[in-house]
Amino acid sequence: MAVTLAVSAVSANISFAQNYDVREQVRADRMKASGLDNLISFDVPTLTAAPAGYEPFYISHYGRHGSRYAYTERAYTDLLTMLTVAQKQGNLTEYGEKVLSRLKPFYDRVKYHVGDLTEIGWEQHQRIAQTMVDSFPTVFGEGAEVDAVASTSIRAIISMASFCLSLQQQRPDMEIYEHQGFLELQATAPNTGKNELRYKGPELNYPFDENTEQFIARRFPAWKDIYSRMFRNPETVIGKRSAYSVLVDTYMLVAGMASLPENVREDFGDVFTPEEYATMWEVDNLERFKEYHQYKTSCSAIVDDILDKADERISSGRKGADLRFGHDHVFMALLMIMDIDGFGTIPSTTDSLAYWFQTYRSPMGANMQYVFYKPVSGQGDVLVKLLVNGEECRPCGLKTAGWPYYSWDELKTALKAQVRRYVYTAEELAQIEKKAKEVDRTPAQWVRDTLSQGCVYHTYSGYDPISGTKQNVNVLEVDMNNPRYKVRFNYDRQGGTPTSNVAAEFGAVAAINGAYETSSVFIRTDGTTYHAIENELVMNTPVPQWRNDGGVYASADGRKVRIDGSARGLNLNDTRKHYARKAKKWANILTSAPVLIDDFKPVGETFAEKGLEERQISMIHYEDPLRHQHVRHPRTAVAVTADNHFLMITVDGRWPGFAEGMNACELTKFIAGHFNPRYALNLDGGGSTTMTVAGHGDPKTCVVNYPTDNKKRNHDGQRRVCTHVLVVDSQKQ
């Protein structure tokens, strides 16, 4: 069978993939308008018969988990909280009262199921497996072997179990092996932060000048009309939150209903008009592209896994299937990497993006199947066709004289070329690492900017002799002996707010992100305790709670601020009692760990064991304090000097050659060596690390560091966090 590569990916796919009437389709089909929350359809065209003399013998598959409850509780609580607060303020319309009356009992039905697979999700994978066997019985004939692997997500694991149970019911004697582990992330969810084997490649920058907020302002300027129908004064509840942060949770609430059991779901479809819902799909479509576009490098590992396992099956003659179960963001990245039906095309404008990239192509239960065919005679090329959600598709912009069948050798070459676009070779990596080591080892110098009397902004960018790497550090130092300055803590009860939004709301001189996840720490602001270390384990992991060795305290008027490590060494119950006692004295408390400096003692230097090899560290759970504090990450910290100066500190990281980040030991030495504080405490870091300084950094947000959540070295990658530490100047409010 002859297969020829298309002259150009775009020209080869224009009639096949460019979807100029996508907006009309979305307006007419509410399920499509639900984007990533739409459900897989089993109403698909009849498959093309196998070429004469060929039969299928092997399937290589990647599937998204089935229907689930919302993956974040914010989808259920954000609008609920807004409505509840507004009701107390007399700010609800009659319609808002009706929505709240439905939302309260609905939340009671779903609040303990966040992220769980639903019965519908289970049934989807049962049916996909049954369809696979019915469509390709020879793949699952005598001697067939099935290998199935899932990501670390429970809903992915249960989806795998459903699928394999269905296979076993249809083929009781077939050998099926199901497994899951961190070492298999490369085949299921290689973009996860826990994956130490993640591929590296060229920086994949967001290709458009217009971001999501600007897109909303231009294409959806009347978005607040949605909330005007529920609130007498929507500005009161929306505040200074960004448009997308408000809209996305409402959209997820409405869109996710189709995945829920009938006795659980509640129809909130009237919250959006059909036109608003279709426009909201396009807004979310752009935001998801912004996120998923950057996963093309890491998720190329799955393409390599497909290639390697297919070649092994072909050479060994073993029939059966390799199954992989994961998530929508991976599935969408694969569609782009493989340029399936032109999905990898990047147009010139945000308005054109929807013609090529559509989130509804990754419904609940989404799956792609490479189906391999061999000649019955044993003589001839191996052929393959691609099914996406049951429909025959075109990979890599390839043309074929025998649609939809392709020569495996030529398709393999095309897939390798696609991976090559996004992944560095070993030789390229070696050159990059060599260049990174050839750094100028002249120590960086501090640059100091006096913002006002008693308030100094310090920056440090360049080689750091303590860590032996490049670092980028921001420090705000304020003299708390000066009565004009106050320290404030903020707790956001609606699921998190970017640090810059909070800084703007309070008119802060500077602000940083605060403590770890709320259920793992003690949070008290303005005299009210909101969290008291509810979780005995860290973030639903087997790791015992360790995140409360120290606390930062501020008085009710913000004039006094203290740090101590007096909870170090206490068990969890005693730690809770300890901070309950502290709450009788202090109006504001945030706890965290590790304590870095305790009464001038550099205790952070020994918090994590030294001398461990990278291999040993990688075998420790990601949330274990030994690993968490042993490796380099972006860091946020606070410190207090003997002469009552308060320091807010951020250390950027994950930017090779510019800012490598620090571990707990390096951070302790750095702070002690440059500022000699009496006390210092590490706060939440990683993707949460953010600092704003009024009049500096980004012109719009005043973010001065380089947050990492958008994977781009700019000031736009802020994470929504629940706690913040701020310095305010009473003379500037």
Q: Which of 384, 406, 438 is the endpoint of a domain?
A: 438
Q: Is residue 660 part of a domain?
A: yes
The helix, strand and coil proportions of the chain, stated in percent and rounded to the nearest 5, come to 40, 25, 40
Share of the chain above pLDDT 90, in %: 85
Kindly report the number of other CB atoms within 10 A of residue 45's CB atom.
Answer: 8
What contacts 311, CB < 8 A, 6 or more positions away? 412
Q: What angle in degrees, to the nearest 10, is found between the helix axes of 328-337 and 408-422?
A: 110
- Segments of 254-413 assigned E as strands: 320-326, 367-375, 383-388, 391-393, 398-400, 406-407
Q: Is residue 553 part of a domain?
A: yes
What contacts 657, CB < 8 A, 6 or more positions away? 435, 436, 439, 470
C-alpha separations of 604 from 13, 243, 257, 465, 674 in Å: 57, 40, 47, 18, 15
Mean pLDDT to the nearest integer, 467-496: 95
The pLDDT value recorded for residue 658 is 92
The answer to whether residue 405 scores a pLDDT higher than 50 is yes
Q: Produce one character per residue of 59-70: b if its CB has 16 or more CB atoms within 10 Å, e if not.
A: bbbbbbbbbbbb
Kindly report the number of other CB atoms within 10 A of residue 401's CB atom.
Answer: 9
The pLDDT value recorded for residue 621 is 77
Task: Report which of 623, 624, 560, 567 is spatially closest to residue 592, judged by C-alpha positions.
Answer: 567
The answer to whether residue 454 scores a pLDDT higher than 50 is yes
Same domain, 431 and 464: no
Helices (H), 342-405: 350-356
C-alpha separations of 326 from 180, 198, 297, 304, 385 in Å: 11, 16, 17, 16, 22
Same domain, 335 and 403: yes
Its pTM stands at 0.74
The answer to whether residue 3 scores a pLDDT higher than 50 is no
Same domain, 429 and 471: no
For 182, list phi and psi in degrees, rounded to 5: -65, -30
Helix (H) or strand (E) run with residue 502 in it: helix 499-506
Same domain, 368 and 317: yes
Q: Is residue 71 part of a domain?
A: yes
Task: Report which of 223, 234, 239, 268 is spatially closest to residue 75, judged by C-alpha positions.
Answer: 268
pLDDT digits (tens, 9 = 90+) for 146-157: 999 999 999 999
Domain region containing 127? 1-42+60-438
Q: How far is it, in rounded angstroms, from Cα 649 to Cα 457?
A: 10
Q: Is residue 52 part of a domain?
A: no
The pLDDT value recorded for residue 214 is 93
Share of the chain above pLDDT 70, in %: 96
pLDDT digits (tens, 9 = 90+) for 105-137: 999 999 999 999 999 999 999 999 999 999 999
Q: How far is it, in rounded angstroms, from Cα 258 to Cα 271?
A: 15
Q: Which residue's entry shows tokens 């704003």?
A: 692
The answer to whether residue 5 scores a pLDDT higher than 90 is no
The pLDDT value recorded for residue 242 is 82
The pLDDT value recorded for residue 733 is 73
Same domain, 564 and 424: no
Q: How far is it, in rounded angstroms, from Cα 100 to Cα 92?
A: 9
- Contact present, 262 and 128 (Cβ < 8 Å): no
Q: What angle in degrees, to the nearest 10, is found between the helix axes of 74-88 and 94-110?
A: 140
pLDDT digits (tens, 9 = 90+) for 310-332: 999 999 999 999 999 999 999 99
Burial (CB < 10 A; 0-12, 13-18, 19+), residue 437, is exposed
Task: Report which of 83, 55, 45 is spatially closest to residue 494, judged by C-alpha positions.
Answer: 83
Give the pairing of strands 145-150 and 320-326.
Answer: parallel
Same domain, 128 and 257: yes
Same domain, 120 and 234: yes
What contacts 169, CB < 8 A, 6 or more positions away? none
The answer to whether residue 493 scores a pLDDT higher than 90 is no
- Contact present, 303 and 418 (Cβ < 8 Å): yes
Q: Produce one character per residue of 218-232: b if its CB has 16 or more CB atoms within 10 Å, e if not.
A: eebeebbebbebbbe
Q: How far is it, in rounded angstroms, from Cα 32 to Cα 277?
A: 10
Kindly report the number of other CB atoms within 10 A of residue 24's CB atom.
Answer: 11
Coil vs helix vs strand at 527: coil
The CATH code of the domain that includes 341 is 3.40.50.1240
Q: How far is it, in rounded angstroms, from Cα 599 to Cα 668?
A: 13
Q: Which of 438, 461, 491 is the endpoint of a domain?
A: 438
Same domain, 428 and 459: no
Q: Is residue 132 part of a domain?
A: yes
Q: Is residue 465 part of a domain?
A: yes
pLDDT digits (tens, 9 = 90+) for 52-83: 999 999 999 999 999 999 999 999 999 999 99
Q: Which of 376, 404, 438 is the endpoint of a domain?
A: 438
- How many domains does the chain fold into? 2
> Sign of the CA dihedral 115, 116, 121, 122?
positive
Size of the chain in residues: 733
Same domain, 429 and 459: no
What contacts 333, CB < 8 A, 6 or more positions away? 191, 292, 295, 296, 298, 299
- Segments of 289-339 assigned E as strands: 320-326
Q: Tell me which long-range contacts 222-229 makes (C-beta under 8 A, separation of at least 24).
A: 223/247, 223/276, 225/276, 226/250, 226/271, 226/272, 226/276, 229/93, 229/95, 229/96
Q: Which residue's entry shows tokens 């951020």?
A: 650
Q: Produce one character per residue of 588-597: b if its CB has 16 or more CB atoms within 10 Å, e if not.
A: bbbbbbbbbb
Tokens encoding 126: 């049962």
Mean pLDDT to the nearest integer, 85-92: 96
Same domain, 250 and 370: yes
Same domain, 480 and 413: no
Give the pairing of strands 175-180 and 145-150.
Answer: parallel
Q: In what side-by-side order are the strands of the sheet with 469-479?
A: 447-452, 455-464, 469-479, 645-651, 635-640, 679-682, 595-598
- 159 falls in which pLDDT band (50, 70, 90)? very high
Kindly report the number of other CB atoms within 10 A of residue 78's CB atom.
Answer: 22
- 15 falls in which pLDDT band (50, 70, 90)? very low
Q: Is residue 53 part of a domain?
A: no
Same domain, 185 and 318: yes
Mean pLDDT to the nearest integer, 689-700: 96
Q: Is residue 51 part of a domain?
A: no
Give residue 316's Cα distance to chain centre.
39
What contacts 82, CB < 8 A, 6 or more positions away? 231, 237, 494
Task: Report which of 314, 240, 242, 247 is spatially closest to residue 277, judged by C-alpha positions.
Answer: 247
- 281 falls in which pLDDT band (50, 70, 90)? very high
Q: How far is it, in rounded angstroms, from Cα 722 to Cα 265?
A: 28
